[in-house]
Amino acid sequence: MIRVALIPGDGIGPEVVDEARRVLEAVATAGLAELVFGEFPHGADHYLSTGETLSDETFSVLRDDYDAILLGAVGDPRVPAGRHARDILLGLRFRLDLFINFRPAKLRAPRLSPLRNAGDTAIDFVIFRENTEGMYTGAGGRLRQGTPQEVAVSESIATRFGVERIVRAAFDYAKVSGRGRVTLGDKANAVPHVYGLWRDVFTEVAAEYPGIESEMRYVDALAMELVRSPGRFEVIVTENLLGDILSDLSAELTGGMGVAPSANVNPAGGALYEPVHGSAPDLVGKGVANPMAAILSAALLLRDGGATDAAKRVEEAVDAALAEHIGTPDIGGTATTTEVGEWIAAQIA
Ligand code: NAD
Ligand code: IPM
Ligand code: MN
């Protein structure tokens, strides 16, 4: 049994999580997995009405009573600087120590790629984004705020432990999934301390995997190469902030934010699945949000939960929808969010 905590969150989060849940329920009804759900109201409305972003009590429940979290999105224009979003999303990543942010970029239908006329349509790589360090730890501060002498510092943190475990996870994944190359994305030419450590550790770990090719790229050139020849990439490992940026670029190469899933995991226990996209305030309530990213995130949840056949069925159902041109307007379709979810769920039933 997989105990799933749903955090629909803000904006289009609830719209896409409804559809992911519909698909998971179809999976359960078809006898492909045993699932139980709990729903959590955390997000901007809950914060603005109760003052709770994510309390210690809620955190303990999520940690102890559930196997996986499925989150829609957090972020709301009424909450300046995304305070609740940081507590909820980054809070869960940090407190559950979900150090792997696994972000697959797979082109499921060639017509979805903006590069479709350039010939490189066999895009299928995975980003291993370090998820607990870098610029995201909050280290730093602001002094003399609001004065002409104001100083702001955000420190980038890299530990040998943190870098080594994500680099190793990327190589291990390459090995078990039969992928032949791991690429490091960094900026060691301009930021030598943090990315120097990344290069040292990457080089050491790579030497332990003689069957897997390794290469190091400065992230600016890597961004260029991802557009020029995305098909050559297999596994990309990178630091937190760089991975955030590269994952939106990679999403766009494979059909856009509406189809890009992700998993935040610690192999020793704890997992949070979410679309790469945010709360898309411009789309709320219009029925146009693409639920495929959330549905594919649910497939990752099933896969990690041991329900591999169920995960495969969900991915196949999404592929079938794409083949039949069932989709929301972002991918050239005319269906609503709900229609897409219902179609995919029916395919599984
Ligand atoms: P966004 O991902 O919400 O939107 C970027 C673009 O992609 C927009 O044009 C949007 O319309 C489109 N888009 C996003 N999801 C889509 C979907 N399912 N179907 C079709 N189109 C989709 O990024 P943003 O505008 O920078 O951020 C909006 C808010 O979301 C901010 O508050 C931000 O902090 C937050 N955010 C949250 C998460 C998360 O919870 N994981 C991730 C990213 C951004
Ligand atoms: C993501 C998001 C988050 C991040 C934001 C909302 C803090 O952009 O999951 O990609 O930067 O990690
Ligand atoms: Mn992002």
Task: Concatenate the DSSP letters of all residues of 224-281 into one string.
Answer: HHHHH-GGG--EEEE-HHHHHHHHHHHHHHTT-GGG-EEEEE-TTS-EEEEESS---G
Give residue 241 CA to ligand 2 midpoint distance, Å: 9
pLDDT at 277 over 90: yes
Given ligand 2 and candidates 101, 244, 247, 265, which is best to mutate, with the most ligand atoms within 8 Å of its CB? Answer: 244
Q: Which atom of ligand 2 is nearest to the CA of 75?
A: 6
Q: Is the CB of 292 under 6 A from ligand 1?
A: no
Find the helix packing angle between 337-348 and 308-323, rounded to 10°. Answer: 130
Residue 121 pLDDT grade (very low, low, confident, very high; cuts 50, 70, 90): confident
Q: How high does pLDDT run on average in the chain?
A: 97
Catalytic residues: 136, 187, 220, 244, 248
Residue 236 pLDDT grade (very low, low, confident, very high; cuts 50, 70, 90): very high
Cβ contacts of 276 within 8 Å, gap of 6 or more: 103, 247, 248, 251, 257, 260, 261, 262, 293
pLDDT at 141 over 90: yes
| CA pair distance 58, 84, nearest whole angstrom | 14
Instruction: Give mean pLDDT, residues 234-250.
Output: 98
Return the pLDDT at 216. 98
pLDDT at 335 over 90: yes
| CA pair distance 220, 310, nearest whole angstrom | 38
Given ligand 1 and candidates 279, 283, 295, which is best to mutate, with the most ligand atoms within 8 Å of its CB? Answer: 279
Return the pLDDT at 120. 79
Cβ pair 167, 237 in contact under 8 A: yes
Give residue 162 CA to ligand 1 midpoint distance, Å: 28
Ion ligand 3: residues, Cβ under 5 Å? 244
The CA-CA-CA angle for residues 321, 248, 109, to 5°, reads 25
Two tokens at 106?
A: 């797979």
pTM (whole model) above 0.95: yes
Instruction: Give mean pLDDT, residues 192-204.
Output: 98
pLDDT at 117 over 90: no
| CA pair distance 209, 229, nearest whole angstrom | 25
Cβ pair 236, 81 in contact under 8 A: no
Of 21, 131, 6, 137, residue with least CA distance to 62: 6
Region of poorest pLDDT, from 77-81, 268-272, 315-319: 77-81
